[in-house]
Chain A
Amino acid sequence: MTPMTPLLRLEGISKRYGGVRALDGARLACGRGRIHAVLGENGAGKSTLIKVIAGVVAPDAGTLELGGRPLPFAGPAAARRAGIASVFQELSLVPDLSVADNLCITDPPTRCGLIDRRAQRRIAEQALARVGAEDIHPLAPVRELALSRRQMVEIAKALVRDPEVLLLDEATSALTAADVASVFGVLRRLRDRGMAIVFISHRMNEIAELADDCSVFRNGRHVATFPAGSRPSGDIIEMMIGRDYSSVFPPRARPVPGEPPALKVTKLSWEGRLRDLDFEIRPGEVVGLGGLDGQGQRELLLALFGALRGVRGAVAVNGVEVALSSPRSTRLPGGGIALVPEDRKTEGLMLAMSVRDNLSFAAIDQLSRFGVIDRAAERAAIDAMIEQLRIRADGIDGPVAALSGGNQQKVVIGKWLMTRPQIILLNDPTRGIDVGTKQEIYQLLRALAAERAAVVFYSTDYAELIGCCDRVLVLYDGAIVRVLEGDAITEHDLVAGAHNLEVAAAEPPA
């Protein structure tokens, strides 16, 4: 093998999830002794790519070569045996087992067919020491560790078997600065010993500090590969954006200035994941939450909805303070807070029940008298909602599961509209939905705003934030780092804010 042959090479990798194309002929090559950063927006296909290499996702097409030989896509265990180790965004630790058990879970040391606990303990202590996490006790159950400690265990676990290729998907997102320094030191040493490291990070400064090469992905396609530091960050942002806009957005309304806020949030904090958030939303305003995925946007919505425990700070709806003790407590006289959740199939719908039943669940109190459901009123309200949502009429009495994703999402939204909420929270409502239904949902948002509801809208799609929102709060690490308003909401500013870069940093560095 010549030194020019990359250790890891992917060609023409494609993967579809239903109608969504996650990867489209993607390629990547990483040589021995190189640290390769993969960059791209949310939904660019970075995580899917890493999962393909790790054997967790089998692609529809494409080839993977390791050391010049093709490697079949035969599952995570096979990839691991071939020398590919991975650290995922979603932690892959088993919470009830001890740290030592977890570190050796793939291939425990055995003696006479039984696990050799002494050897395991030794391996665990060495592995923890290698990443500089000697403070973690090998016998501690993973369940009891803080998130940053778990992530250190996760990294140690990936290194236990001396892999040739190490994949890191946002592996440092929860680490403290001291941990990051220690992990980076380890990664550099491993690189110098010939390991190929592919990593995803949304922190541009980490990429600048660590990477040898960078590859940019967009819409599941490979855009460019270049040595780290050879392009100004402004150019990199351009490469990550450059997307075609296929959606048409309804025109914005001008909210009346000087009106009292419909939603006033003061010093909202939770578990270190939300940090002292302060903002106000006027009636009839659509406010977007921007930033990279996982910076606290989902937690903010859940906190406002009363689904988190231990939230500090104050939330007032039209001047009345709300106790955020449960989703029931956020229903107020005159309309409360509604949440269109992240996962419509588990959190939004009772899939086996009919469209009618699903629509009236949240509003059942308003449609009942003395605890008895007023069937006629229920029927009338549901019919009106179906009319407004334009749900295809042939499936109304059938199970929601039979509807398309877009229509299912309309049912989730309709369920809350029936309660006439004053505040509507939407968690990425258009994900995995076709363009036509997306447009209907945008129009619905505007119609709600016109009826003086305050809308908080989280989307991982920047185009939606630009097209739909009157204002965008960009979150980074649980805090609002930037507020963009009106025409100032541009993709460039959103991306820069999401990476917590000053706009000035988009200029070529001196």
Chain B
Amino acid sequence: MTGRSDPASRRGEDLRYWLAAQRGPLIAAGLFAAMFALFVTEHPAGLSASVVNTAANKGVLLALVAIAQTFPVVTGGLDLSVGSVFVLANCLASAVVAGTSLQVGLGVAGVLACGVSCGALNGVVVVFGRLQPIIATLATGAIYGGVALWLRPTPGGAIDEDFADLLTGSAGELVPVSLLVLAAAVLVIWVPYRRSAVGRAAYAIGSSEQAAYMSGVPVARAKFVAYLLAGLFAAIAGLLLTCLTDSGEANAVLGGSYTLSSVAAVVVGGTSLYGGSGGAIGTLFGAFVLRTIGDLLFVFDIDALSQPLFLGVVLLVSVSLGSFRLLRVTRRLELYR
């Protein structure tokens, strides 16, 4: 009765399942490729290093914050403090990343440690305080924003120039360094995380926390690590922002807009807000898609006042794609779960 299949068709099936699992990132990547191609053909300067560099720098900032958001979302949570950590890291970096190369190195480490601490605090509150992530991180986010304001009551400060030039330039006049930073962060942190036991646990929790617990999965540890890594990625983004602006500003509006855009990028990248699926690769393309929408509206000369409207419509369409699964539900009560 078993459909024992020959090796060739097994490999075909392997590919099919792999493709099904990567559908979200692939769609987001395809969407981005199409939009970016349209963007460079319409752009008056065409495909030049400076056009690519500017686009990359803007995209990478959101991509990093959105990847930060991906960690908690995979566990079925949400981190509303990523924008605040991003801004706090910016303020801190504008004060401590200066001096000799050793001091710069220590400053960078301090900024990243600050992000990790913020993330760890979120993790502690969510895991041990048993608070809903959305409200816990709303509160901690306000605290981080407050600390940022205390560090930088008025915009100012600076960052080591050589360091800033290094991170915002183009390697070999072609590839933006910020893109390399993003790739390195994904390769060094996300990829091993995705393949580690704790990363697997995060997906299990997001998919069914009860089943995960019953299977002996380390639920508390996996959630804690997810929030901690969210803080780390937000801090990397804050550091990069300081390099781009060469100053620090406790800009609550900027933080809030990054937080909301990060959620949008996560969803566009194929990660379900219910948790348990998706990942940083999709999110990365999701972030670039969002940024490219803005750029496209610009090159097509769409009135600046109607840009938010277009952005909203595109977002709504992409998010709706996720609800097709509800058409298959046979027990109506499950629609409300």
Contacts and interface: CB of A to CB of B under 8 A. Distances in A.
Interface of A: 56, 75-77, 80-81, 88, 90-98, 101-102, 105-106, 108, 110, 113-115, 117, 132-135, 137, 139-141, 157, 178, 270-271, 302, 306-310, 326-327, 347
Contacts of A95: 207-208, 211, 276
B17 A98 contact: yes
A308 B331 contact: yes
B332 interface: yes
Contacts of A94: 203-204, 207-208, 211-212, 215, 276
A307 B206 CA distance: 26
Contact of B204 (A81, A105, A110): A105
B213 interface: yes
Contact-size category for B: 35 or more
Contacts of B200: 97, 101, 105, 108, 115
B196 interface: yes
A357 B195 CA distance: 50
Interface string B308-337: 000000000000000000000111110000
Contact of B333 (A98, A102, A271, A347): A347
A137 B197 contact: no
Contacts of A117: 195
Contact of A302 (B195, B277, B333): B333
B211 A92 contact: yes
A76 B214 contact: yes
Contacts, number: 113
B216 to A, nearest CB: 3
Contact of B203 (A77, A97, A132, A307): A97
Contacts of B14: 139
Which interface residue of B21, B208, B210 has the most chain A CB atoms within 10 A? B208
A43 B4 CA distance: 42
B216 A134 contact: no
A277 B191 CA distance: 53
14 contacts: A56-B214, A76-B216, A92-B215, A94-B207, A94-B211, A94-B212, A94-B215, A98-B21, A106-B215, A108-B197, A115-B196, A134-B2, A134-B4, A139-B14
B255 to A, nearest CB: 31
Given A97-B203, A326-B332, A139 B2 contact: no
Nearest to B216: A77
A77 B217 CA distance: 7
Contacts of B206: 96
A96 B203 contact: yes
A114 B196 contact: yes
B331 A115 contact: no
Given A77-B217, A94-B204, A102-B215, 4 more contacts: A92-B215, A97-B207, A105-B216, A327-B332
Given A113-B196, A308-B331, A309-B331, A135 B2 contact: yes
B42 interface: no
B128 interface: no
Interface string B203-231: 11011101111111110000000000000
Nearest to A93: B211
Nearest to A342: B333
Contacts of A270: 330
Contacts of A326: 332
B329 A309 contact: yes
B300 interface: no
Interface string B1-22: 1111000001001100110110
Contacts of B333: 302, 307, 347
Contact of B21 (A80, A105, A135, A141): A141
A93 B215 CA distance: 8
A135 B10 CA distance: 11
3 tightest Cβ-Cβ pairs between the two chains A and B: A77-B216, A96-B207, A96-B276
Contacts of B20: 141
B192 interface: yes
Contacts of B21: 98, 139, 141
A309 B2 contact: no
Nearest to A144: B20
B13 A139 contact: yes
Contacts of A137: 10, 13, 17
Nearest to B14: A139
